[in-house]
Amino acid sequence: MEIERALQQLESLQKKLYAYRCADSSLYLDAVTTAPSDTSEGRGVAMSILAGESQKLMTSPETKALLDELSARAGELDLVHRREVEELRRSCEQLTRIPADEYMAYKELCNRADDIWHKAKAEDDFALFCPVLQELVDYNRRFAGYYDASKAPYDALLNEYERGVDRKMLDSFFATLREGLVPLIHKIGEKPQIDDSFLHQEYPAAQQKAFADYLMEVMGLDRSHCGLGETEHPFTLEFNNKDVRITTNYDEHNVASSMYSVLHEGGHALYELGIRDDLQYTCLAGGVSMGVHESQSRFYENLIGRSRPFVEAIYPKVQEFFPRQLGGVSAEQFYRAVNKAQPSLIRTEADELTYCLHVMVRYEIEKQLIGGTLEAKDVPAVWAKLYKEYLGIEVPNDRDGCLQDSHWSGGAFGYFPSYALGSAYGAQMLRRMEQDVDVRGAAAKGDLTPITAWLREKVHQYGGLMEPADVVKNACGDFSAEDYIQYLTRKYTELYGL
Amino acid sequence: MEIERALQQLESLQKKLYAYRCADSSLYLDAVTTAPSDTSEGRGVAMSILAGESQKLMTSPETKALLDELSARAGELDLVHRREVEELRRSCEQLTRIPADEYMAYKELCNRADDIWHKAKAEDDFALFCPVLQELVDYNRRFAGYYDASKAPYDALLNEYERGVDRKMLDSFFATLREGLVPLIHKIGEKPQIDDSFLHQEYPAAQQKAFADYLMEVMGLDRSHCGLGETEHPFTLEFNNKDVRITTNYDEHNVASSMYSVLHEGGHALYELGIRDDLQYTCLAGGVSMGVHESQSRFYENLIGRSRPFVEAIYPKVQEFFPRQLGGVSAEQFYRAVNKAQPSLIRTEADELTYCLHVMVRYEIEKQLIGGTLEAKDVPAVWAKLYKEYLGIEVPNDRDGCLQDSHWSGGAFGYFPSYALGSAYGAQMLRRMEQDVDVRGAAAKGDLTPITAWLREKVHQYGGLMEPADVVKNACGDFSAEDYIQYLTRKYTELYGL
């Protein structure tokens, strides 16, 4: 085949895959924002057919032949095409190895598991969820073999969310974090706690919405390309680099909740909006990995959004939105309140300092579940033990314990560590960024332009063009947890006068 | 092939087509409700690829072979499968006759035409739209030949929107309407006009929203299967018979606008929600034609919604929603105001009596355009002439004249007559319904249950199982315009004391 013709086919294949992704995203977005309550069945039929068509396309003999040919002629391709072929071939081979009926059965199980998990969580009934959790674990152990039989199962799963990461790397990473953070948390526990009660007055949703619009403006998010919606759980969804949606949830008794979720999701959105145009409609459009994505979201949420200069810069405006609630509260009080560190039960509500310990609990449990050394039925006990050990708190029930997150019921094992990795990547990027950009100065002016420009140049633009580890390395050198620990130690030592 | 196997393939084909429709609907719904402003390009890429895939599926040799085989064995099929095969074969053959490149070029033209029309309308510049209108006409004349070469072009187009309808039938129908209605309208012109100024006070959108919810409740629309959204132009969109969305637009200076658009779209929604379960995910799911659909929407909007017993029944509640605006207005005054008949320029704002004359203007122009006896450049003059002749009014500009509707710019020629047909179908159904149901009594109680039950039994349930004319005949006998003219004559004679 002429190389031009093959490249045309490659483009056409990827555009079709893009179209199926858009369809899926649109139906999903509708489901969680607008759709009437009892409409999931018909939508499920459509979504599963479209997913099947996309998978069929990805694994067809024509696709395989095309990718094999282009792979054999990789020397004739430019970098972008070479990477596309690599990525698509990996997906094609992986999907081909999963028997179609097993894949369908697993998808069906995930749907069912989600329903059961909702019910089990609502009723605080782990016994209800336990058998399905074990089934999910068993499937994932088998699927890990399809993904990469040369790796131990949990390593193969980790690799799906953050390529290049394995237990060895994470064991060392988390051990370093624990050594650095647990003593710090203990010391804080002995200090008088920060008063954050004013964050929990009544904050009407309408004003919070206007405030969210303001925050998006401060972030430099172009509203003609980035929408803001409302869902139970905030998320970011991208159609392409000109069409990204973020959502938030307005808790009328916690102004920080929506505020920091907008900054968080806005960070994800800036990443997607910053990806190069020439990668659009290809498999390289979109952020490269969960970990790198979290590095961006947590950068804006914490490293900038919870920094003193940024809080001071926007605080007069914050007071304008909530004069009744915050008129008598100083910027410093507000800064301290949004940084209050206190061991707690719920990961998504955890503060910047203790957050990673929540992740570690899940990592240790997943590692054992997928490794086959822990059964689903024993998860609650291990959960309680680890929360006591890492965070020093008792877990009163499973609803606020091992049933709190939706990840496992959705079939995602190996996903959690990317939250912690992202936080660490971000701190390392900040350290490197400070050599080029007056970060504190920019934050103090409430002008994030130079910060976003740096991240766009070093991280965003590449999309999936480089491996996650190479993106990190390119931005800030070989990965290490040190900058992250130093950052937290300095911040909290000052904050609590340790 | 085993017949069971062929039927399985038929089911699978239709489910895939359903999935593509859902994807298209979802992306469209997002575009007009939620999507940020500058996102059409990426969505357009996805939508056109998905449309292409759906069309490819519909016209593939495998599909053709399957439909040919099932058609040859029609005697072995039950009614539903026989109708499915008939409908799918027609679509397949029609699409096959349209050269793919011509089809793509036409779709591209429609996209372009829509942009140009928006601009031309905003700037009241017919000259801008004129060349593209002529191009659209030329394409449609050619396409008519692909649809059905045995028919004159405009008949072939009419048949696409309301099967079985042609110029002969419509010429006679519209002549009857003109004879019946034009003298009535003239007589009303000599009477003192009804005061409807109180409808145009300030009606805040938030209260109108709550009122819309109430109206949906009165209509018996199950909100767990029927959503209400907000768009520039109200519409109804169905995913399946368990998932329908209607939209409205809140004009803060016209309470009747949203009120009657909710009743109208709600009528469409009841139709879709009432279709039999066993037709779901097939080509027979969904209302059978534009005309029958309009018969349902205009039934609830006008025959019920603008009837005295219904207005009287809900009026105390209407006053509760708008005490300041309507506290001093009686039910009778309100009833008369929402039925005020007065020749006007804009079709979508026309009253029940003069509405069909707007349709006739468009019918006469389309007939000549597609017939080749009128050129696009002469449309404004003919438009003005016919508005003068039918409605007795001067057309001051093209924005409020021939540029007012989006239909032509979207490529829809032959669509307009179904609005008038639907109104007449509805009146005939009402006449027949009154033999079985105490319609006025039900409306007077504000309980539409027996009315909807009758329509569901006679019309809704069948979806596309029967031809449009057979649906009408099955519900109320051979079609005639008489009931419609009688209904309007009685109502307006009484209302204006003629």
pLDDT digits (tens, 9 = 90+) for B217-260: 999 999 999 999 999 899 999 999 999 999 999 999 999 999 99
3-state secondary structure of B331: helix
Measured between beta carbons, the chain A residues lying within 8 angstroms of B37 are 223-224
If asked whether residues B157 and B33 sit together in one domain, one would say: no
Q: From the candidates B265, B352, B364, B366, which is the catalytic residue?
A: B265
Alpha-carbon distance A458 to nearest alpha carbon in chain B (angstroms)? 25
Whole-number pLDDT of residue B107: 85
- In chain A the first and final C-alpha atoms are separated, in Å, by 69
Q: What angle do CA A129, A133, A138 make, to 5 degrees?
A: 155
Whole-number pLDDT of residue A51: 92
Measured between beta carbons, the chain B residues lying within 8 angstroms of A36 are 223-227, 243, 245
Say whether A38 and B225 touch across the interface (CB within 8 A): yes
Which residues are within 8 A (CB) of A279 and not within 5 positions of it... i.e. 6 or more apart?
A80, A241, A285, A463, A464, A465
Q: Distance (Å, rounded) from C-alpha B72 to C-alpha B51?
A: 29
If asked whether residues A282 and A332 sit together in one domain, one would say: yes
Identify the CA nearest to A162 among candidates A405, A404, A426, A464. Answer: A464
Q: Distance (Å, rounded) from C-alpha A64 to C-alpha A60?
A: 6
In this complex, the residue of B42, B227, B240 whose CB is nearest that of residue A42 is: B240
Measured between beta carbons, the chain A residues lying within 8 angstroms of B31 are none
Count the domains in chain B.
Answer: 2
Q: Distance (Å, rounded) from C-alpha B449 to C-alpha B270?
A: 11
Interface of B with A (CB under 8 A): 15-16, 18-20, 22-23, 26-27, 29-30, 33-39, 41-43, 45-47, 49-50, 53, 223-227, 229, 239-240, 242-243, 245, 280-281
Q: Distance (Å, rounded) from C-alpha B103 to C-alpha B167?
A: 26
Q: Specify which residues B230 forms β-bridges with.
A: B248
Place of tokens 């068993």: A138
CB A267 within 8 A of CB A301: yes
If asked whether residues B311 and B359 sit together in one domain, one would say: yes
Say whether B35 and A243 touch across the interface (CB within 8 A): yes
Say whether B280 and A42 touch across the interface (CB within 8 A): yes
If asked whether residues A141 and A30 sit together in one domain, one would say: no
Average pLDDT over residues A318-335: 98
Average pLDDT over residues A46-60: 94
Per-residue pLDDT of B270-299, as tens digits, reads 999 999 999 999 999 999 999 999 999 999
Secondary structure percentages of chain B, helix, strand, coil, to 5: 70, 5, 30
Q: Would you give the DSSP letter of residue B413?
A: -
Q: Is A268 a known ligand-binding residue?
A: yes
Examine residue A480 and state whether it is found in any structural domain, yes or no.
yes
Q: Distance (Å, rounded) from C-alpha B192 to C-alpha A405?
A: 69
If asked whether residues B187 and B76 sit together in one domain, one would say: no
Q: Structure tokens of A231?
A: 């869902």
Phi, psi (rounded to 5 degrees) for B246: -115, 155
Alpha-carbon distance A326 to nearest alpha carbon in chain B (angstroms)? 28
Examine residue B440 and state whether it is found in any structural domain, yes or no.
yes
Would you say how long chain B is, in residues? 498
- Across chain A, what does the average pLDDT equal? 96
Which residues are within 8 A (CB) of A214 and not within 5 positions of it... i.e. 6 or more apart?
A317, A321
If asked whether residues B320 and B436 sit together in one domain, one would say: yes
Q: Would you give the DSSP letter of residue A192?
A: P
In this complex, the residue of A15, A30, A37 whose CB is nearest that of residue B49 is: A15
Structural domain of B270: 133-498
Examine residue A466 and state whether it is found in any structural domain, yes or no.
yes
Say whether A225 and B280 touch across the interface (CB within 8 A): no
Is A265 one of the catalytic residues?
Answer: yes
Examine residue B127 and state whether it is found in any structural domain, yes or no.
no
Alpha carbon dihedral B328, B331, B334, B335, in 10-degree steps, equals: -170
Examine residue A109 and state whether it is found in any structural domain, yes or no.
no
Place of tokens 């399985």: B8
Q: Distance (Å, rounded) from C-alpha B376 to C-alpha B395?
A: 17
In this complex, the residue of B27, B36, B280 whose CB is nearest that of residue A224 is: B36
Whole-number pLDDT of residue A115: 87
If asked whether residues A83 and A150 sit together in one domain, one would say: no
Whole-number pLDDT of residue B367: 98
Residue B384's CATH number: 1.10.1370.30
Amino acid identity at B162? E
Taking one residue from A and the other from B, the number of pairs with CB-CB distance under 8 angstroms is 125
Alpha-carbon distance A199 to nearest alpha carbon in chain B (angstroms)? 29
If asked whether residues A333 and A197 sit together in one domain, one would say: yes
3-state secondary structure of A243: strand
Alpha-carbon distance A224 to nearest alpha carbon in chain B (angstroms)? 5
Question: Which of B47, B72, B97 is where one domain is finished?
Answer: B97
Phi, psi (rounded to 5 degrees) for A238: -115, 135
pLDDT at A389 over 90: yes
Question: Which of B70, B97, B124 is where one domain is finished?
Answer: B97
Q: Would you give the DSSP letter of residue B194?
A: P
Q: From the candidates A84, A162, A265, A364, which is the catalytic residue?
A: A265
Examine residue B421 and state whether it is found in any structural domain, yes or no.
yes
Q: Structure tokens of B232?
A: 């520039």
If asked whether residues A201 and A332 sit together in one domain, one would say: yes
If asked whether residues A91 and A167 sit together in one domain, one would say: no
Q: How buried is residue A160: exposed, middle or buried, by Cβ count under 10 Å (0-12/13-18/19+)?
A: buried
Which residues are within 8 A (CB) of B255 and not within 5 positions of it... i.e. 6 or more apart?
B199, B201, B203, B208, B211, B322, B325
Question: Which of B72, B97, B122 is where one domain is finished?
Answer: B97
CB A417 within 8 A of CB A165: yes
Per-residue pLDDT of A8-25, as tens digits, reads 999 999 999 999 999 999
- Which segments of chain B have a pLDDT < 50? none
Place of tokens 């199950």: B222
Examine residue A210 and state whether it is found in any structural domain, yes or no.
yes
Q: Distance (Å, rounded) from C-alpha A219 to C-alpha A240?
A: 19
CB atoms within 10 A of CB A135: 16
Crossing angle of the two packed helices A205-218 and A308-321, in degrees rounded to 10: 140
Say whether B18 and A46 touch across the interface (CB within 8 A): yes
Whole-number pLDDT of residue B304: 98
Alpha carbon dihedral A70, A71, A73, A77, in 10-degree steps, equals: 70
Phi, psi (rounded to 5 degrees) for A244: -125, 145
pLDDT at A175 over 90: yes
Q: Is B460 a known ligand-binding residue?
A: no
If asked whether residues B148 and B75 sit together in one domain, one would say: no
Which residues are within 8 A (CB) of B132 and not within 5 positions of it... i.e. 6 or more apart?
B109, B112, B113, B116, B117, B409
Per-residue pLDDT of A463-491, as tens digits, reads 999 999 999 999 999 999 999 999 999 99
If asked whether residues B161 and B70 sit together in one domain, one would say: no
Q: Is A460 a known ligand-binding residue?
A: no
Alpha-carbon distance B21 to nearest alpha carbon in chain A (angstroms)? 9
Q: Structure tokens of A349?
A: 């509500």
Examine residue A264 and state whether it is found in any structural domain, yes or no.
yes
